[in-house]
């Protein structure tokens, strides 16, 4: 500092450097917080998806045992491997309804009534994971009895 001929406010230089370093530290801490947030939400997401699929599976099983017709189960069972084995396939309520009841076509009103009745939800739009479980549960019931029919 003694070798510099120009007058320098070293306190201001140091203050600016300390402030920049503090900003860097705060950014790193926020990244750490974000990483823990991401990890926490990732775990929450996995549990949510698992619970949704289990609930859908139970409802699909009950529907197959109590209300489904033979043709409904044949159509749903033939689609089940494609619909349940690929986690990247997003299922939608209208599409699954149309697969079960092709004569109705993509009838939004009938689809909404069906899903409200069977999902027990306020909304007629169960999640893709719930639908995946529904398809798997109903297909499993059909597979268990198919050879006896």
| 69 within some domain | yes
Domain of 84?
50-148
Identify the pLDDT of residue 52.
93
130 to each of 5, 15, 96, how far by Cα in Å? Answer: 74, 57, 11
| 62 within some domain | yes
Query: What is the secondary structure of 135-147 as a DSSP string?
Result: HHHHHHHHHHHGG
CB 115 within 8 A of CB 97: yes
Identify the pLDDT of residue 32.
66
Identify the pLDDT of residue 72.
95
| 126 within some domain | yes
Identify the pLDDT of residue 58.
96
Token pair recorded at residue 93: 């309520």
| 55 within some domain | yes
pLDDT digits (tens, 9 = 90+) for 99-135: 899 987 778 889 989 998 888 776 668 998 999 999 9
| 114 within some domain | yes
User: pTM of the prediction?
Assistant: 0.74
Q: Which residues of the chain have pLDDT under 50?
A: none
Identify the pLDDT of residue 36.
82
Q: How many domains does the chain have?
A: 1
| 59 within some domain | yes
Identify the pLDDT of residue 31.
63
Identify the pLDDT of residue 46.
93
Q: How far apart are the first and last CA of the chain?
A: 95
| 107 within some domain | yes
* H or E element at residue 83: helix 70-84
| 11 within some domain | no
């Amino acid at each position: 500092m003694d070798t510099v001929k120009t007058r320098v406010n070293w306190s201001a230089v140091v203050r600016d450097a300390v402030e920049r370093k503090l900003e860097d530290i705060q950014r790193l801490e926020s990244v750490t917080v974000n990483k823990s947030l991401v990890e926490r939400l990732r775990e929450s997401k996995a549990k949510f998806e698992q619970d949704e699929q289990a609930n859908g599976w139970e409802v699909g099983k009950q529907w197959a045992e109590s209300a489904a017709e033979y043709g409904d189960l044949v159509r749903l069972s033939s689609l089940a491997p494609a619909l349940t084995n690929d986690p990247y396939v997003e299922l939608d309520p209208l599409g699954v309804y149309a697969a079960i009841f092709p004569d109705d076509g993509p009838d939004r009103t009938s689809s909404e009534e069906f899903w409200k009745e069977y999902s027990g939800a306020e909304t007629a739009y169960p999640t893709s994971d719930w639908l995946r479980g529904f398809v798997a549960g109903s297909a499993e019931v059909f597979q268990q009895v198919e050879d006896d029919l």
